[in-house]
Chain A
Amino acid sequence: NAGVTQTPKFQVLKTGQSMTLQCAQDMNHEYMSWYRQDPGMGLRLIHYSVGAGITDQGEVPNGYNVSRSTTEDFPLRLLSAAPSQTSVYFCASSSLGLAGTGELFFGEGSRLTVL
């Protein structure tokens, strides 16, 4: 029962480096999303997708890119990391519409530190 799988769990970057956080789900969910969680700020939506080839911005999209080439995968790219991107990142997925309940399932998180 894999559910939503995020890799890596921990990562340390230097300012200006690039990296990709991977997210995969095996539940055939149309909806996938990325959140960041910071102390005192709660969970904020970065980007989301309602199907392969369709992505849209959330509350805090600047500095992040996403793509959705398959139903299963939704990677989050940091093109030039900044210390302000130090955070815990969560990927989540759910069914949409009549295909299911719409319950959102989360991965275990990826803790990113940018020095």
Chain B
Amino acid sequence: KQEVTQIPAALSVPEGENLVLNCSFTDSAIYNLQWFRQDPGKGLTSLLLIQSSQREQTSGRLNASLDKSSGRSTLYIAASQPGDSATYLCAPRGGGATNKLIFGTGTLLAVQP
């Protein structure tokens, strides 16, 4: 059974800092891994998708890496802004016929102006 852990659970940083969010998962036989952002009371917005054959993906100030063999992914946010404040969730997708996504409990990020 896939288990996903995100560390830290909460993080507060001053504006402008670079930061790293960590995601670890127990079953390395994944199809892909997705990072999402969720604002309070809202739905989930997809940030980055990394296929199992890829090592990283970049979008603007965001960079996500994947080390499938060790069951780890990181989300790097450069030059953080108050608008980045949200909960960040990672979700590896199973590689078999079931193709389920299992979520971590997320990292709550607060960027102080």
Chain A contact residues, CB within 8 Å of chain B: 31, 33, 35, 40-45, 48, 50, 56, 58-59, 90, 92, 96, 101-109
Contacts and interface: CB of A to CB of B under 8 A. Distances in A.
Contacts of B91: 43, 104
A103 B34 contact: yes
Q: Give the most central of A43, A50, A59, A109: most B CB within 10 Å.
A: A43
Given A50-B97, A92-B101, A104-B101, 14 more contacts: A33-B100, A42-B106, A45-B100, A56-B98, A58-B100, A59-B102, A101-B32, A101-B49, A102-B49, A102-B51, A102-B93, A104-B46, A104-B93, A108-B43
Interface of B: 31-32, 34, 36, 42-46, 49, 51, 89, 91, 93, 97-106
Contacts of B51: 101-102
Contacts of A102: 31-32, 49, 51, 93, 99
Contacts of B46: 103-106
Contact of B42 (A56, A58, A101, A108): A108
A59 B2 CA distance: 11
